[in-house]
Chains A and B, each alone.
Chain A
Amino acid sequence: MATLSDRLNINSQIEHLQAKYVGTGHADLTKFEWALNIHRDSYASYVGHHNMVSYFGVVENESIGRVKYEFLQRMLLPCGLPPKAQDQSEDEEEK
């Protein structure tokens, strides 16, 4: 049976995981945070795969170097501004 210390242990383990592996989710993750991670992961993957940046480059008629730079730049705020703290619950309800 799981004891209290086990549970603490699990919590601390999860915290450790979250600190170590960026993007690890948790129970209270908001939609925005989740989307942030997804977008940043996607951009990082595009930048890493040369065929993907090249593909974007052809479509947009831009230099590959420019596309890479823009993608990295977009990692700062990939999904627009974060929602205000109190609006968050309302947003959730709406959806």
Chain B
Amino acid sequence: MHCYSLTLSRATGIQSAVYGNFSAAKAQEVVVSRGKVLELLRPNENGKMQTVVATEVFGCIRSMAAVRLTGSSVDHLMLGSDSGRIVLIKFNKDKNAWVKVHQETFGRSGCRRIVPGQYVAVDPKGRACMVGAVEKQKFVYVLNRDNLANLTISSPLEAHKSHHITFSICAMDCGFDNPIFAAIELDYSEADQDPTGEAASVAQKHLTFYEMDLGLNNVVRKWTDAVDNGANLLVAVPGGADGPGGVLVCAENFIIYKNQDHEEVRAVIPRRSDLPGDRGVLIVSYATHKKKAYSFFLVQSEYGDIYKVTLSYEGDNVSELKIKYFDTIPPCASIVVLKTGFLFAASEYGNHALYQFVGTGEDDDDVESSSAQLVQTEEGFQPVFFEPRPLKNLLLIDEMASLMPITDMKVANLLNEEIPQIYALCGRGPRASLSVLRPGLAVTELAVSPLPGAPTAVWTVKRNTQDEFDAFIVVSFANATLVFSIGEEVKETNESGFLGTVPTLHTQLLADNSMLQIYPGGLRHIRPDRRINEWKVPGRRNIKAAASNEKQVAIALQGGEVTVFELEQGTGQLVEAEKRDLGEDVSCVEVRGEGRGGRGGEGGGRGGGVPGDPPVPDGLMRASFLALGTYDQTVRVLSLDPGQGLKNLAVQALNSVPESILMLYNAGPGADRTTEGGLFIHVGLQNGILIRSEVDRVSGQLTDSRTRFLGTKAPKLFPASVRGVRCMLALSSRPWLGYNDQGRFNLSPLSYDALDYASGFASDQCPEGFVSVVKSTLRILAVENVGDAFNTQVGGDGGRGGEGGLGLTRPRGILRILAVENVGDAFNTQACRLRYTPRRLLIHPDYKVLLIAEADHAAVPLAEREDLQARLAAIAEQEGAPVQGVEFNDELAALEEQFGAPKGQPGQWAGCLRIVDPATLSTVFVQELDNNEAVVSMALVELQLPGAGQGIEKLLAVGCARGLRYMPTDCEAAYIRIYRVLDAGRRLELLHKTPVDGGAPGALAGLKGRLLSGVGPTLRLYDMGKKKLLRKCEYNRLPHQIVSITVQGPRIYVGDAQESVHMMRYKKADNAFYIFADDIAPRYLTSLLPLDYDTVAAGDKFGNLVVLRLPKEASQQVEDDPTGGKMAAASGRLNGAPHKLEEVVKFHVGDTITSLQRAEMQAGGQEVLIYSTVMGAIGVLYPFTNREDVDFFSHLEMHLRQEHPPLSGRDHLGFRSAYFPVRACVDGDLCGQFASIPVKKQQMIAESMDRTTGEVLKKLEDIRNKIL
């Protein structure tokens, strides 16, 4: 087994975010780290955050800081990672990529205790930076510029202090004095030596200033002072000319201003009144807003409350520190203030958001605490209380979807769609949801209006080439044409000048603002002054196909005569320019091509005619190529150059009749999109295949053909506009969108019904949509989130979103307007809101419903939430029906999501069981768990019912632990509950509840009509009894805690929380379990999935994927052994099993794996291993089917490792082997970067592999298409 690993949808959680101007001066940008992906975000004009570029760095990003050199107008970015290196990178706008500026090694790789990288801080004047480790080590580098203004860095200066744990580092603002770095440190050396514990109890945190003396080139500990022992975060206060300097020390419950030779100024952080007394308030993120006259800090607590901190000062003397409640949003990993008055909130879990400041937080009604009003009592400082309230100073502008954390995932086709859906449990607490992901782009239906008859085609036409929006929708029927004008509403009109009594073949707005209608009998040229020129087809022939751009029109007549007209400048007449008889009937035509044209494409999309008209580039008279598809199964490229007489430039034979042709420019990775990328011709064939070939821009030769099967219908290709760039809509048995995303051509299915004909559409409400006809309906659509791999369905009970893309009813004779949002996503998403953090997901195979177990630690159960109960009762009264929980009411749920659930005591649990109907994504049943129980495992098992003559029934077994606590894991009591699923999966009925001893029941499974349970480290077999489960057999020598049990035939695969996989058998005669094989390495398993009888795949907490196999001989031996391997088990080596599993595949994903599934992600495709991670990524392992591919991709990977080392400075092989050496797995994410490296390097790599660049790219595309 050799695998190809590919991330289908990159992580959506954010580790940290940094504001800066990276691509240009004053560009408002945010760089976010998604763990191992670096992403540059920029809000667009509508305030939507858009990804400019996402780069996989093959390392673990731990910290980031923007570096602004003196006099520079753009920022560099400094990365603190696990590479043991300081890395400074710069954004190159032309290449649309990050470029490494400096990389200096200072230590070993890996997230180690004493290797710096955990913290980075940069002097605000850009003169020096500090890289710190969790313990001991800190390096200071001096940043300088050489005479070419390039950034240079010095050799490192040490500021080490052994036995000191660092909590936070910041660079102080001290104007042009020597740079000073401040750190919160804790000395543990005494505590290690003192058995009485006194030293530990008096251990004191210190605030230390390290001064970098630029004159002497050394670092000194300038000043150190004891600081509050709850200190966790430092915030620099503007200094020099802008303020008093010094730092704010954020500590539990306090914010303290400190500076050298300055008395500390302390204020309490206001706390929520419902917070338990023993809980502190910790600041977890902050943002500084710095302006000349006025600066303030926004700090956010762990509960999500944002406070505005202001200082009153005179000169260097701070007199008062004020903390004022500002607003509440979900807790963030980072908050970032943009200079344009926006706040970007990178949520710890769940969706990220962009807010606009609508208030300054100066209101007097809000609670404020001040250092001046600090009251010290005998029990410490007197707290200040407040109640969180709905947003007042912030206004939500946009949300960026985040699946983080995915706690469980199942892939199944419950809705009888073409491909299976991915059901993922996401989020935490009140922000939890069940998300349904489907490959493809989400489509929004924008408008619906009725139509008579059955339309055959549709176009949109502008009034003027300079217009932004379309003016007319032209709908053609079998024997008539209808024109609608677009305004406040879409209505029929006669003012267009179009001939209504004939069907239309093509429409076009020409460069001089005249309109052209092509119908079978001829051309109708409607001049801007409404004069009409008609050109009739000579003889009794008809026009079969037509294409045009703003200046040229090509028509093909029956019999294969092709005529090209040109718009004559001056007279505004369409003049016949070229004519040729091909002698073969033409099926489709396309006019396009010139020297360099990406820009032209855009001009056509935005300014010119219909978005996506094949435009003639500015300054050029004509397009150079005419492409034709003919019924003899060929596609030809003809020259349009005058005097050439439509000479054949290229001919390509096809295996089917071409149905439709479209030429597109592939945007290069550069910002202006014209530098690289070629012209491509797309041909849709009648057998459903799309062929994409590159057209040489000069000679017109066709090279590098790639094919892809789109569906059972012949793909019809239409131009449309996405993000202002011409792209392709391909309509087969399902619609597809071909577009460029980050320099790569993507072809994604749209999550929508099949469309018959479509055209680009731009209007006020929908700048980029398309209008289409389906049977007798006309619709306008828009695409969401271009760029993502999945679409997520949000909706269900209260409806967090719309209906998503599917299941739309389609009344006859209706015009619909639809839009596609989020172009670029590979998946679209729908979701159903949940009450608590979801833990386990099951699919009932008979009833096709989803069973979800939810549980939250330290949370208050719904029944004890007095505030909510009252509100729910009020709502129930209003609606006349009881409301079961917060998630069923939008308003309440929104509040709960904003504020978070109130904190309970450790060991207190809230949980529920839920049944969700996947078709409607709504809850059909929900039941709270009583008795302070937490669900730890859940399984559907077939149990032999007690009593004679009773059969086997599929029952739900739920493992619960009462008062579960962690570190160390312990519970007061544990139970296994057995439920019966009633009413076709609409209700659960508790049959009985059996107390179990020995720990939490971490896993359950069925074994031949009995229940197998992993209780702590004990594997136990139960029989179903009438009142409770009856213990039959147990094995109590498993290492730690069973987390997973799967059964295949007589074999039981048991996953341990720390000790990997154990293969066991149950011997009925002896009524005993024994282990016959185990693993050779400790693995902290989270998920286990049997692949075949001898093979299992497993994922662990540290982010490793492994495939383990029982060697063939061992497997045979176990099967053949008359004792069933029992004797062998007794003679195990060193307390281990007699047989050891072999590692077949090993791979480090770099993110905690939460679930593993096998699935076919394509109709008739190959089965892949699909995994989800805590950071919200979804990836696959695709097993190679032939040796040739293995060789090819292994070599490509090897070359890329050498030629394109990861951005973070981490060695790629080292990263993929972080815990166990990588084995038999090619990193598809690295291979995928081949497309984005410089052309020269591409050629070099391709050459050394004896292939062309095109072939390599084609291979990469092919394998991607095989997976998704």
Let me know if B302 and A62 touch, CB within 8 A. Answer: yes
Q: Which residues of A, 16-69, contact B by the 8 Å Cβ criterion?
A: 19, 21-23, 33, 36, 40-41, 43-45, 47-52, 54-55, 57-66, 69
Q: Which residues of A contact B1151 (CB under 8 A)?
A: 51
Name the one of B111, B193, B282 contacting A66, with C-beta atoms under 8 angstroms. Answer: B282
Which of B135, B282, B859, B1173 has a CB less than 8 Å from the CB of A75?
Answer: B135
B1175 close to chain A: CB less than 8 A: yes
CA distance A66 to B35 in the complex (A): 18
Q: Identify which of B111, B195, B196 contacts A45 (C-beta below 8 A).
A: B111
Check A75 against B1101 for contact (C-beta < 8 Å).
Answer: no
Q: Is the CB of B348 within 8 A of A23?
A: no
Nearest Cβ in chain A — how far from B1172, in angstroms?
Answer: 12
B135 touches A81 (CB 8 A): no
Which residues from 257 to 299 on chain B have a C-beta closer than 8 Å to any C-beta of chain A?
Answer: 282-285
What number of residue pairs across chains A and B have CB atoms under 8 A from each other? 149
Which B residues between 116 and 144 are near A, CB-CB below 8 angstroms?
117-118, 133-136
- Expressed in whole angstroms, the Cα–Cα distance for A14 and B130 within the complex equals 29
Residues of A within 8 A of B302 (CB): 62-63, 65-66
Residues 169-210 of B, flagged 1 when their CB comes within 8 A of A and 0 if not, give 000000000000000001010011111110010010000000
A-B contact list, 17 entries, CB within 8 Å: A22-B136, A23-B114, A41-B112, A48-B118, A48-B134, A49-B1103, A54-B1152, A57-B428, A58-B837, A60-B858, A61-B837, A61-B858, A63-B348, A65-B283, A65-B348, A75-B135, A81-B197
0/1 per residue, A60-86, Cβ < 8 Å to B?
111111100100100111000111110
| Known interface pairs A50-B15, A82-B195; 15 further A-B residue pairs with C-beta atoms within 8 A, sorted by A's residue number | A33-B192, A44-B111, A48-B82, A51-B35, A51-B1103, A51-B1151, A54-B404, A57-B428, A59-B857, A63-B284, A65-B283, A66-B282, A69-B167, A72-B232, A75-B135
- Cβ of B659 to closest chain A Cβ, rounded Å: 48
Residue B113 at the A interface, CB < 8 A? Answer: yes
A48-B857 in contact given A61-B429, A65-B302, A66-B282 (Cβ < 8 Å): no
Is B1088 at the interface (CB under 8 A from chain A)? no
B791 at the interface (CB under 8 A from A): no
Q: Is the CB of A76 within 8 A of B191?
A: yes
A85–B195 CA distance with the chains assembled, in angstroms: 8
CB of B686 within 8 Å of the partner chain: no
B404: which A residues are within 8 A, CB to CB? 54
Q: Does B60 interact with chain A (Cβ within 8 Å)?
A: yes
- B113 touching A22 by the CB < 8 A rule? yes
Name the distance in Å between B163's Cβ and chain A's nearest Cβ: 8
Q: B10 near A: Cβ within 8 Å?
A: no
**B135 proximity list for chain A (CB < 8 A):** 22, 40, 44, 75
A81/B200 in contact, CB under 8 A: yes
Inter-chain CA distance A1–B721, complex, in Å, is 79
Contact A55 B348 (CB under 8 A): no
Distance from A2 Cβ to chain B, minimum over Cβ atoms (Å): 29
Instruction: Give bound CA distance, A63 to B232, whole Å.
Output: 14
CB nearest neighbor in B for A79: B192
**In whole angstroms, how far apart are the Cα atoms of A65 and B404 in the complex?**
16
Q: Given A48-B118, A60-B857, is A65 in contact with B284 using a C-beta cutoff of 8 Å?
A: yes
Taking chain B's interface residues, is the majority helix, strand, or loop, or is none over half, making it mixed?
loop
B858 touches A48 (CB 8 A): no
Nearest Cβ on chain A to B189's Cβ, whole angstroms: 11
Given A60-B966, A69-B232, A82–B1175 Cβ distance below 8 Å? no
Residue A61 contacts which of B114, B285, B407, B857 (CB distance < 8 angstroms)? B857
Knowing A50-B60, A51-B1175, A58-B407 are in contact, say whether A41-B348 is a contact too (CB < 8 A): no
B303 interface residue, CB < 8 Å from A? Answer: yes
Closest 6 CB pairs of A and B: A65-B284, A48-B111, A63-B302, A44-B113, A50-B15, A44-B134
Q: In the bound complex, how far is the Cα of B906 from the Cα of A59, in angstroms?
A: 12
B1066 CB-CB contact with A under 8 Å: no
Asked whether B1141 is an interface residue with its Cβ less than 8 Å from the other chain, the reply is no
List residues of B (590-632) whose CB comes within 8 Å of A's CBs: none
When chains A and B are docked, how far (Å) is the Cα of A36 from the Cα of B111? 18
List chain B residues, Cβ under 8 A from A81.
194-197, 200
Given known pairs A44-B134, A48-B60, A65-B282, the reply for A54 and B348 (CB within 8 Å) is: yes
- What's the nearest-Cβ distance from chain A to residue B858, in Å? 5
**Chain B residues numbered 428-458 whose CB sits less than 8 Å from any CB in chain A:** 428-429
Complex contacts, A40 vs chain B, CB 8 Å = 113, 135
A54 touches B191 (CB 8 A): no
Rounded to whole angstroms, the CA-CA distance of A51 and B284 in the bound complex is: 17
Q: Are A76 and B188 in contact (CB under 8 A)?
A: yes
A85 to B283, CA, bound (A): 40
Contact A72 B165 (CB under 8 A): yes
A21 contacts which of B114, B134, B303 (Cβ < 8 Å)? B114
Given A58-B837, A60-B857, A61-B859, do A52 and B1152 touch, yes or no (CB 8 Å)? yes
B824 interface residue per 8 A CB criterion: no
Q: A59–B965 Cα gap in the complex (Å)?
A: 10
Q: Tell me if B1174 is interfacial: C-beta within 8 Å of chain A.
A: yes
Residues of B within 8 A of A84 (CB): 195
Minimal beta-carbon separation of A59 from chain B (angstroms): 6
Q: Known A22-B162, A54-B13, A82-B194; judge A63-B303 contact (CB<8 A).
A: yes
Q: Complex formed: what's the CA distance from A63 to B1174 in Å?
A: 15
Closest chain A residue to B133, Cβ basis: A44
CB neighbours (8 Å) of A52 from chain B are: 1101-1102, 1152
> In the bound complex, what is the Cα–Cα distance between A62 and B1151 (angstroms)?
19
B114 / chain A contacts, CB cutoff of 8 Å: 21-23
Contacts of B194 in A (CB 8 A): 81-82
A43–B195 alpha-carbon span in the complex (Å): 22
Supposing A59-B857, A76-B200 touch, asked if A51 and B112 sit within 8 A by C-beta, the answer is: no
Please tell me which one of the listed residues A19, A61, A72 contacts residue B856 in the complex, with CB atoms under 8 A apart. Answer: A61
Complex contact A57–B136 (CB within 8 A):
no
> Contact partner of B333 among A41, A43, A49, A64, CB < 8 A?
A64
Q: With A and B bound together, what is the CA distance between A36 and B117 in angstroms? A: 22
Interface presence of B1076 (CB below 8 A): no
Give chain B residues whose Cβ lies under 8 Å from the Cβ of A50.
13, 15, 35, 60, 62, 1175
Closest to A33 in B: B192
